[in-house]
Amino acid sequence: MKILFLGDVVGISGRSMVLNNLLSKIKDEKIDFVVVNGENAADSGVGLTEEICKDFFNCGVDVITTGNHVWDQKKQCLILKKKIDFLDLKIYLNHLQEKALEYLLLKMK
pLDDT value of position 103: 62
pLDDT value of position 87: 46
Q: Which residue has the higher pLDDT, 65 or 21?
A: 21
Confidence of residue 1 (pLDDT cuts 50, 70, 90): confident
Catalytic residue among 40, 69, 73, 76: 69
Whole-number Cα distances in Å, 3 to 39, 75, 87: 20, 32, 16
Q: What's the CATH number where 28 sits?
A: 3.60.21.10
Given a contact cutoff of 8 angstroms between Cβ atoms, the answer to whether 73 and 58 are in contact is no
Q: Decide if 69 is catalytic.
A: yes
Supply the range of the domain harboring residue 25.
3-108
Q: What is the tally of structural domains in the chain?
A: 1
Q: Please list, in sequence order, all residues whose beta carbon lies within 8 angstroms of the beta carbon of residue 17, skipping any fewer than 6 positions away.
A: 9
Confidence of residue 39 (pLDDT cuts 50, 70, 90): confident
